[in-house]
C-alpha cells in the first residue's frame, strides 16, 4: 500500500506541478498579451501625436499661406490704386496748361464782352470737372513759403509782406488727393 500511496502522491504532485505550470503559462501568456497591448497602445499614441503635430504644422502653414495671399492682394490693390492715381495725375497735368491759358485770358478780358463771358464759363466748367476728380488748388498767396507745395521763381524785397511769405502766385499749383501734381509758382518776400 505504501507503494500505491506513494505512486498516488507522486501523481497528485505531478498534477499540482502541471497545474502550477499551466497557471504560470496562462499568467505569462496574459502578461505577454498585456505587454503587447501596451506596446500597441503606445505605438498608436505616438502615431496619433505625430499625426496631430503634422496636422498642426499643416494648419499653421495653410494659415500663413492665406495671410500671405491676403497681403499680396492688398499690395496689388494698393499698387493698382497708386498707378491709377499717377495716370490720373499725368492726365490732369496735361489739362492744367489749358486752364492756365483760360485764366490768363480772363485776367485781360474786355469789360462786359459776351465772348469773354463764354470763356469764363468754360474755365469754371473745367475747374468744376477737376474738383469732381479730387483736384484742389494749392493756396499760396500770403502764406509761408513751403517747398513741398510752392516753387519760388523769385525772392523780392517787399515792405507789405513778411519775409519768407508768398507775395504773389505766378501759376496756380494743384493737388490730387494728398499728392502734389504741380507746385504753385510763387514770388517770395525777402
| pLDDT at 99 (0 to 100) | 92
93-130 tens-digit pLDDT: 999 999 998 888 888 777 777 788 888 899 999 999 99
| pLDDT at 109 (0 to 100) | 77
Q: 179: phi > 0 → left, psi -120 to 50 → alpha, else beta; which?
A: beta
Give pTM, 2 decimals.
Answer: 0.59
The cell for 161 is 509782406
Measured distance CA(39)–CA(36) in Å, rounded: 5
Measured distance CA(175)–CA(89) in Å, rounded: 9
Structural contact between residues 169 and 185, judged by C-beta atoms closer than 8 angstroms: yes
Phi and psi at residue 75, in whole multiples of 5°? -65, -45
Domains and CATH numbers, the chain: 134-190 (2.30.22.10)
Measured distance CA(156)–CA(154) in Å, rounded: 6
Residue entry with cell 515792405: 159
Residues in the chain with pLDDT values less than 70: 1-27, 29
For the CA atoms of the chain, what is the radius of gyration?
48
Amino acid at each position: 500500500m505504501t507503494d500505491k500511496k506513494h505512486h498516488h502522491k507522486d501523481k497528485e504532485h505531478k498534477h499540482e506541478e502541471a497545474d502550477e505550470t499551466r497557471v504560470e503559462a496562462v499568467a505569462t501568456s496574459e502578461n505577454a498579451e498585456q505587454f503587447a497591448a501596451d506596446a500597441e497602445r503606445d505605438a498608436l499614441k505616438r502615431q496619433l501625436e505625430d499625426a496631430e503635430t503634422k496636422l498642426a504644422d499643416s494648419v499653421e502653414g495653410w494659415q500663413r499661406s492665406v495671410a500671405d495671399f491676403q497681403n499680396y492682394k492688398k499690395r496689388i490693390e494698393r499698387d493698382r490704386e497708386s498707378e491709377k492715381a499717377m495716370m490720373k495725375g499725368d492726365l490732369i497735368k496735361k489739362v492744367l496748361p489749358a486752364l492756365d491759358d483760360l485764366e490768363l485770358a480772363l485776367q485781360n478780358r474786355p469789360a462786359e464782352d459776351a465772348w469773354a463771358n463764354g470763356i469764363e464759363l468754360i474755365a469754371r466748367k473745367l475747374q468744376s470737372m477737376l474738383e469732381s476728380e479730387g483736384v484742389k488748388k494749392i493756396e499760396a498767396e500770403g502764406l509761408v513759403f513751403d517747398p513741398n507745395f510752392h516753387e519760388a521763381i523769385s525772392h523780392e524785397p517787399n515792405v507789405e509782406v513778411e519775409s519768407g511769405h508768398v507775395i504773389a502766385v505766378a501759376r496756380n499749383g494743384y493737388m490730387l488727393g494728398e499728392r502734389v501734381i504741380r507746385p504753385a509758382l510763387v514770388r517770395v518776400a525777402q
